[in-house]
Amino acid sequence: MQSDSANDPSRHHGRIFLLSHMRAFTSLAGHILGSHPRINGYYEMHISYEDAAALDRQLDAFLEGDALKPGSRYLFDKLLHNDYAFQPERLGLPDMKILVSMLEPEHTIKSIVNLFAQKEVDDLYASPVEAANYYIERIGTLAEFSRTTNQPYYYFDAELFQRAPEQLLPKLSHWLELDSPLSERYQIFSHTGKARKGDSSPRIHSGCIDRTPVDYSHVPVPEKVLNEAREVYRECRRQIIEKAADSALLDRN
């Protein structure tokens, strides 16, 4: 389906982009955002955004399985991998909201290893070293984005989605200029739990935020690997927060 009519109002939807990495509660974030009546989309579309034509590709991909909500304002996508470029300055969007989020390294790396170790075939990210390399490279790209973009963005620690949504969601609602607040309860959609669409665990089907921590203590990661990731995380997080228009941070005390 091609959206080639200049008068098609769907082409004038604003965009919300979440820039993050794997295993950072981004499926939960997408479902909560996508359940709001003003927001369409909830999963990763695996699209590069390098020019305005990407916006048509995004809309067409969304409309293959879903319909735009009447009276909605935004279309959402998340970018979790360096394979997909993001150049917001070239999109020509007057209505765009950018969110940047990271999760601390130990939980993230162990979660990646645990997920990919369950695959029926050997996967690169079942290796702690390769999972850590992905994480380090990805958060480095997020920090580079923060240093080079001229677009305002909102940063939040990903842990807040599970640990303190009552603090985070009102702030996101305000930043996104929503006319009603985001809720801790969310819809189950057509692609919920499907491969390459986000979290495939039973937790995502609950329809509400599950605050029960997941224990990955059984996943071994060399301390040297974790220490390197922790150092990179601290510096990238510092840079991203410094350049953010606003932020929501986890109280680590």
From the list 81, 10, 1, the residue with the least C-alpha distance to 40 is 10
- 242 has pLDDT over 70: yes
Least trusted range by pLDDT, from 17-21, 155-159, 169-173, 194-198: 194-198
| d(C-alpha 64, C-alpha 39), whole Å | 17
Q: What is the pLDDT of residue 209?
A: 95
Q: Given this model, what pLDDT does residue 176 score? A: 98
According to the model, what pLDDT value does residue 1 have? 41
Q: Report the pLDDT value the prediction gives residue 190, as an integer from 0 to 100.
A: 82
How remote is the C-alpha of 123 from its chain's centroid?
A: 22
Give tens-digit pLDDT for 78-119. 999 999 999 999 999 999 999 999 999 999 999 999 999 988
Higher pLDDT, 76 or 6: 76
d(CA 103, CA 209): 17
- pLDDT (tens digit per residue) in 18-54: 999 999 999 999 999 999 999 999 999 999 999 999 9
What pLDDT shows up at residue 3? Answer: 43
How large a percentage of the chain has pLDDT more than 70?
94
Predicted pLDDT at 5: 41
Q: What is the pTM of this model?
A: 0.93
| DSSP-assigned letters across all residues of 104-149 | -HHHHHHHHHHHHHTSSS--GGGSHHHHHHHHHHHHHHHHHHHHH-
- pLDDT tens, 176-211? 999 999 999 999 988 887 776 677 778 898 999 999
Sign of dihedral through CA atoms 222, 228, 196, 40? positive
Query: Above 60 in pLDDT, residue 220?
Result: yes
Note whether 3 and 60 are within 8 A (CB): yes
Least confident of 2-11, 39-48, 121-130, 207-216: 2-11
The residues pairing with 67 across neighbouring beta strands, listed in sequence order, are none
Sheet arrangement for strand 154-157: 39-40, 74-79, 14-19, 96-102, 154-157, 246-248
- The chain-wide mean pLDDT, for the chain, equals 92
